Amino acid sequence: MKRLSALALSVLLLVGLAAPAQANAPGVGLTVLFTHDTHDRFYPDAGDRGGYTRLATLLEEQRRIPADVGGGSAFSYPTVTVDAGDFSMGSLFQTIYAVDAPELRALGAMGYDAVTLGNHEFDYRPQGLADMLTAAKESGETLPAVVQANYRIPKEPGAQVAAEAMDNYPVTDYTVIERDGLRVAVFGVMGVDSDECAPMSGMTLEPVAEAAKRVVAEIRAKEEPDFIICLSHTGTEEGKGEDYELAKAVDGIDLIISGHTHTTLPEPIQVGNTLIVSCGPYTRNLGRITIHKKVSPDHALSYSEYRLIPVDGSVAPDPGMEALAQSLKAKVNENYLSRFGLGYDQVITRADQDFTTAQTGDLIGWAYIETVKGIEGENYVPIAFAVAPDGVIRDRIRQGDVTTSQAFDILSLGSGADGSPGYPLVSVYLTGKDLKNAFEVDASVSALMPAAELFGAGSGWTYNPHRMFLDRVTACSIQGEGRQVNIEDDKLYRVVADLYSGQMLSTVKDKSFGLLSITPRDEQGNEVADFEVRIIHDEKGEEVKAWYALASYLEGQERVEPPAASKVAEPSRNPVRLLIPMGAPTAVALLAVLLILALAALVVRGVLRRRKRR
């Protein structure tokens, strides 16, 4: 009898402890754990942040922690785990993307409920995506649902293979997760900029807002959801961007997980009754938010906790994920790196300091030049500019030993015409005028679009950031054979870049608001339409991969030092230096000012004459 009383008392105490928390819970609630742009980060980066091996541990811990509902109370809400795309392309594990689907298998093993596709899931073209989805399904392992509502209809015949694999996986517009009595609908979308960053996807983009309205209406009509979550590979920048516009345009979305722009939002952005969140790229943080809907006619949305939890050295690796990573690493060594005579953890050089992104980019340029020189030998055609835009540089040289995997991480994107991982180098020609335009884009436009910033080797330029927009470059030259050579507007100059950057050269007209243009050409001056015919091959006829050009260049150096800067900023507000040398934009603006002043003088003169006559 006493034992029964003690048991009853314990139950009453537990109920009494739990009751205040539940009473304080503001309506229906859900905890969402989220990531985006994880980019194949199985292991921590050179800065000891991130890694699936640690993320797996952290996810399990966070699923057990009750939600903070305010007032010192906690309540165990249902939890879902989601990712907003670009889970691939960022480390050597991507080299087995099409044959082993390491990313989806890892996300499934970590308990992700749903993910969407980003632009980098299409880097290996439609066939690569199809092979990856097929390999994932055939693994027989637990996999996340894949949702994508507006990027599925092929616009090119060759993309039909991807559409068929997406249907077979299946990739659906949305999925419904039922958890502890809640129904959570999750759908995925791709944005305009994301589509532009996938030039070889072969897919058709349905306008984001139109697709979202269509899917939200269908979910509401068929599913009776408690919450609707959008996994958006669209992005936010400085509190605005495509996801901000999506939230304004579409009612009924409770939470947008915003990927693509690698944004880290310290607090959610609230637009009407929609919250937008981002936790940053490369598994450096795990995002956690608890959202609530009040039991009221307007179902007002709120949140009681929002945290970006660092994935750092304080988190122990998960043994199961570590074992999976090791088995996949062995496949990377055997199936990909062996052809280059390199190993995943092989030390190829050492750096005595951390490099900046600019120093890394300039180093890449020299690696391209020296690699092409070595291949072409006596037939080498001088390279005026070897370019590495910020958008393709995914990491930088770090102090200490530099391994093969770290070199690959720096230039880890894409595939070539041969279908193998890594963008190859291409060789094109630009007129001197177009080359100058490229430098002007860097000096003017990169402030608005950091991914367009240029680094490299072979050419140098100075600029004054206080000068007129699109007229900021004050001097430029070819840095050839230890001397500076002036650039002639009508002369053709050889430029080397990776395949993706070469393809993006012709988009400068749009990026510069139609004021500048760059036309890639061949040796005879004819415009290049197919960049794959411009791929550089080695003596064996194999594509020269950008990452391998860097790795082989580093391997030849016992110590790697930062190169001289390709560009120099010379800020000045001196009126002479603001105007001289004077380009067309400054001349037009100055003429407009003079005309306005002249018109104002005429008006004042007329007014004074009238007064004098009176």
Residue 25, pLDDT above cutoff 60: no
pLDDT band for position 588 (cuts 50, 70, 90): confident
DSSP class of residue 207 equals P
User: Considering the entire predicted model, what is its pTM?
Assistant: 0.84
Comparing 6-10, 148-152, 299-303, which segment has the lowest mean pLDDT? 6-10
Please give the mean pLDDT across all residues of the chain: 90
Query: Given strand 425-431, what is the order of strands in its sheet?
Result: 425-431, 492-498, 385-389, 454-457
* Residue 390 confidence (pLDDT) above 60: yes
Please give, one letter per residue, the 3-state secondary structure of 350-388. EECCCCCHHHHHHHHHHHHHHHHHHHHHHHCCCCCEEEE
Highest mean pLDDT, choosing among 26-40, 101-115, 493-507, 574-588: 101-115
CA-CA distance, 328 to 96, in Å (whole number)?
Answer: 8
pLDDT, residue 448, reads 76
Measure the CA–CA gap between 244 and 221, rounded to whole angstroms.
Answer: 25
More confident residue, 8 or 530: 530
Q: Is the pLDDT of residue 330 over 50?
A: yes
Amino acid letter for position 87: F
User: What pLDDT does 514 receive?
Assistant: 64
Whether 343-569 and 24-310 are alike in CATH topology: the answer is no
Say what the pLDDT of residue 599 is. Answer: 85
Contact at 8 Å (CB) between 430 and 551?
no
Q: Which of 235-239, 308-312, 515-519 has the highest mean pLDDT?
A: 308-312
- Residue-wise pLDDT tens digits, 240-255: 899 999 999 999 999 9
Alpha carbon distance 417, 265 (integer Å)? 38
Q: Which helix (H) or strand (E) holds 108?
A: helix 102-109
Q: Is 90 helix (H, G, I), strand (E, B) or coil?
A: coil
d(CA 435, CA 456): 13
Nearest to 413 by CA among 80, 89, 36: 89
pLDDT at 48 over 70: yes
CB of 246 closer than 8 Å to CB of 272: no
Which pair of structure tokens corresponds to residue 193? 């900029």
Residue 513 is predicted with a pLDDT of 62
> Is the pLDDT confidence value at 483 over 90?
no
For residues 379-399, b (16+ Cβ closer than 10 Å) or e, as one string? Answer: eeeebbbbbbbbbbbbbbbbe
Q: Which helix (H) or strand (E) holds 589?
A: helix 584-613
Instruction: List pLDDT tens digits, range 422-462.
Output: 999 999 999 999 999 999 989 988 877 777 899 999 999 99
Q: What is the mean pLDDT of residues 178-186?
A: 96
Helix, strand, or coil here: 239?
coil
User: Minimum mean pLDDT among 46-50, 58-62, 512-516, 598-602: which range?
Assistant: 512-516
- Fold for 24-310, please state it: Purple Acid Phosphatase; chain A, domain 2 (3.60.21)
What 3-state class would DSSP assign to 610?
A: helix
A 10 A CB-CB count for 178 gives 10
Check pLDDT > 50 for residue 171: yes
Q: Give the residues across from 401 on adjacent strands.
A: 350
Alpha helices, DSSP H, located in 515-583? 546-555, 575-579
Predicted local confidence at residue 7, as pLDDT: 35
Return the pLDDT at 75. Answer: 86
- pLDDT for 43 equals 96
User: Bridge-partner residues for 83, per DSSP?
Assistant: 35, 115
CA 533: distance to chain centroid?
Answer: 27
Chain-centroid distance, C-alpha 511? 18
Query: Which whole-number Å values give the CA distances from 146 to 100, 173, 367, 459, in the listed order?
Result: 17, 9, 39, 45
DSSP, residue by residue, 441-505: HHHHTTTT-GGG-EEEESEEEEE-TTS-TT--EEEEEEEETTEEEPPPTTSEEEEEEEHHHHHHG
* Six token digits for residue 551: 């790795």
332 phi/psi in degrees, rounded to 5: -60, -45
Note the pLDDT of residue 509. Answer: 63
Alpha-carbon gap, residue 254 to 117, rounded angstroms: 20
> Side by side, which strands form the sheet with 400-403?
400-403, 347-351, 559-560
Q: Where are the domains of the chain?
A: 24-310, 343-569, 582-613
Count of Cβ atoms closer than 10 Å to residue 301 Cβ: 19
Say if strands 28-35 and 153-154 run parallel, antiparallel, or are unpaired: unpaired
Residues 6+ apart with CB under 8 A from 254: 227, 228, 229, 273, 274, 275, 291, 293, 301
More confident residue, 475 or 592: 475
pLDDT bin (cut points 50, 70, 90) of residue 496 is very high
Predicted confidence band of residue 591 (pLDDT cuts 50, 70, 90): confident
CATH fold, domain 343-569, is 5'-nucleotidase;  domain 2 (3.90.780)
pLDDT tens digits along 409-431: 999 988 889 988 999 999 999 99
Distance CA 224, CA 28 (A): 14
